[in-house]
Structure 1
């Protein structure tokens, strides 16, 4: 409404100015007065044409180079403007309204050197270009957004502004152009110093002969087709005068529960949270490759649980959720973890990824250790932010049998995660 009133006011002023110049030329006469009138006439008519030209009728659309990325990738965007009537326009200012979610810098491993200074990876993005279309029916506007941050980013509108040569008359229009890109967390290889599979952990036995352990012998039996030559018990075969094969303890698969702390932190630890998500996504990818059974639990404003699975579809669902998860929730991670313990089966391998460490969380993790075969604790924090109290809590966790991994700038900037399990 305000813009309409402004256009009408300028239109009336331009017509009145034209009438004044004409009246001046008619009554004054002479070369100067008529030269002034005819010299200003093309500009005044052009001003009126700009005011009457309906730029809101233009067709504006946007295309992306692709719609799914990993954190740190670059996005290429093409904005196309089509108009039916080629009215001569001296200039057009095209501005893309970038989502606020893109006002962060998404990096890969090298970005974690700024864990102690999160502001270093904040950067407001403003996309604006000037085009000189004149009689062109089509205007194309290209730009790039480097270092995409993780998340789901929604584009909404484009603003186009134009005017006359002198800037006296200006018009602008807003176009709703929806668009969406999804940025997954960056994934790295994970080097685990200890195999997760063990005999006493998990509930589902593995019947694959390639996973059978050949160090714990439980008995002997007669040879059967398919048994390996190295399994033959020669002493027993000689005594019984028959081919006898060793019986081995059946190995059980490792049931791993991965828990991510997505609660809101008292002190903003944005880069540490992104590191938590990246480590979690990398662990999920590692178990997907080895076709191992994994469950995933996110504790934040909502509790999201992905049950035990080996399905690639379920693993993809975990990654999609990780691309959108944000720290939220007033309940502390220690309280949420304590509530979830009651519903968990016994003798799991529990992996906890967090950026917060408090005495209450230490107590919850130790209680979890008493119920489960193994607990692996990943603590992501800037080195300078780890206090003496937190170091003492980490030592107490280690004494209680919890496998502790502290990942600060030195560990997070490596090409792959090297952790103990």
Structure 2
């Protein structure tokens, strides 16, 4: 409504100015008055043309380079404008209304040097491009969004603005051009110093021949193609006059429960949360290539559980959930973890990823260790923010048998996660 009133006001003013100049030339007469009238006439007519020319019926398309990314990637955007009538436009400005979610800088490993001051990675983005189309029917704009942050980002509106040579007359129109991109957390390799496969833990057998233990012999059988030469039982083969192969106890895979702290903390440290999500996604990707079963539990405003599986489709579902997760929820992580312990089976390997460490969380982890075979705690925090009290908690957890991994700037900026399990 305001824009319509503005256009009508300028239209009336332009007509009035044209009438005044004509009246001045008619009554004053002479070369100067008529020269002034005819000299201004083209500009006034062009102003009227701009005011009357519709820009709200253009066809505008936005093309995204792709729709799924990893954090830190670059999104390329092409905007194509088609107009039916080639009215001569001196300039055309297009402005992309950038989603608020894109005002963060997506990080890969090098970005975690700012863990102590995550505001360094928050930058407001504004996209404006100018073209001088004149009689062109097609107008093309190209721009990029580097360092995409993790999350789901929705594009909505594009504003188009044009006007006359002097800026006296201007018009603008808003176009709804929906678009969506999904940015997954960046995934790195994970180097674990201790293998999580054992005979005593887990219920699902490992079918990989490379994971078969060759120390516990349970029997012999006839040689079959594919058996290793070192597995041949020469003594039994000599007795039976046939090639006989040792049979070994089949190895069980370790059942691993991965728990992510997605509760809202006091004085939320955004980059530490992004680091915990990235570590979680990297561990999930690592287990996707293994034979061990993995379950995934998220404790935040809602409790999301992905049951034990080797199904690659469910692993993809975990990563998709991680791409959209945000730290919310008023219940503390320690309380949520303590409640969940009651329903967990015994003798799991439990990996807990958190960016907070409180006395209640330390107590919950110790109780968790009493019930399960192994508990691994990943604590992600800027080095300068780790207090002496928290360092004492970490030492006490280590004494109680919990495997502790502290990941601060020096560990998070490495090309690969190196952790103990």
Question: How far apart, in 2, do the equivalents of 1:272 and 1:406 lie?
Answer: 12
- The residue aligned with 1:330 is 330
User: Relative to structure 1, is the Cα distance of residues 38 and 208 closer, same or farther in structure 2, using a 3 angstrom cutoff?
Assistant: closer
- 1:207 offset after TM fit, Å? 5.3
**For residues 253-282 of structure 1, what are the alpha-carbon distances to aligned partners after superposition, in whole Å with 9 as ceiling and x for unaligned?**
111111111111102211111111111111
Q: Is the 8 A contact 2:206 2:292 kept in 1?
A: no
Q: For 1:234 and 1:291, how far apart are their aligned partners in 2?
A: 32
In 1, Cα distance between equivalents of 2:309 and 2:281: 15
Closer, same or farther in 2 for the Cα pair 1:199/1:327, shift >3 Å?
Answer: same
1:100 paired residue number: 100
Alignment match, 1:203: 203
Question: RMSD across aligned C-alpha pairs, in angstroms?
Answer: 2.0
The SS at the match of 1:182 is: strand
In the superposition, the TM-score normalised over structure 2's length comes to: 0.95
3-state DSSP of counterpart to 1:304? strand
Question: What displacement does 1:78 show?
Answer: 0.5
Rounded to whole Å, the distance in 2 between the matches of 1:210 and 1:114 is 42
Seen in structure 2, the aligned counterparts of structure 1 residues 406 and 273 have a Cα distance that, compared at 3 Å, is: same
Deviation at 1:241, TM superposition (A): 11
Inter-partner Cα distance in structure 2 for 1:370 and 1:284:
25
CA distance in 2, matches of 1:173, 1:26: 39
- Corresponding residue number in structure 1 for 2:116: 116
2:414 is paired with a residue whose SS is: coil
Aligned-partner SS, 2:390: helix
State the match for 1:224 in structure 2: 222
User: How is 1:233-252 mapped onto 2 (pairs within 5 angstroms)?
Assistant: 248-252=248-252
**Alpha-carbon deviations, 1:263-320, whole Å to 9, x = none?**
1110221111111111111111111122431111111111111111111111111111
Map residues 9-408 of structure 1 onto 2, 5 A cutoff.
9-206=9-206, 209-217=209-217, 221-226=219-224, 230-231=230-231, 248-408=248-408
Residue pair 1:222, 1:243 contacting (<8 A) in 2 also? no
Find the aligned partners of 2:247 and 2:27 in 1 and give their Cα distance.
120
- CA distance in 1 between partners of 2:387 and 2:16 (Å): 74
- Hey, what's the Cα distance between the residues in 2 that align with 1:155 and 1:207? 47
Alignment CA distance shift 1:138-1:235 (3 Å): closer
| Structure 2 gaps, min length 5 | none
- Aligned CA distance change for structure 1 residues 49 and 342 (closer, same or farther; 3 Å): same
Give 1:233 deviation, angstroms. Answer: 6.1
5+ residue gaps in structure 1? none
CA distance, structure 2, for counterparts of residue 182 and residue 291 of structure 1: 29
CA distance in 2 between counterparts of 1:162 and 1:306 reads: 53
Distance 2:51 2:147 in 1: 41
Q: How many Å separate the matches in 1 of 2:201 and 2:353?
A: 20
Note closer, same or farther for the CA distance 1:230–1:129 as it changes in structure 2 (3 Å cut): closer
Q: TM-score, normalising length from structure 1?
A: 0.95
Once residues 137 and 209 of structure 2 are traced to their aligned partners in structure 1, the CA distance between those partners, rounded to angstroms, is 70
- Matches of 1:215 and 1:207 in 2, distance apart? 17
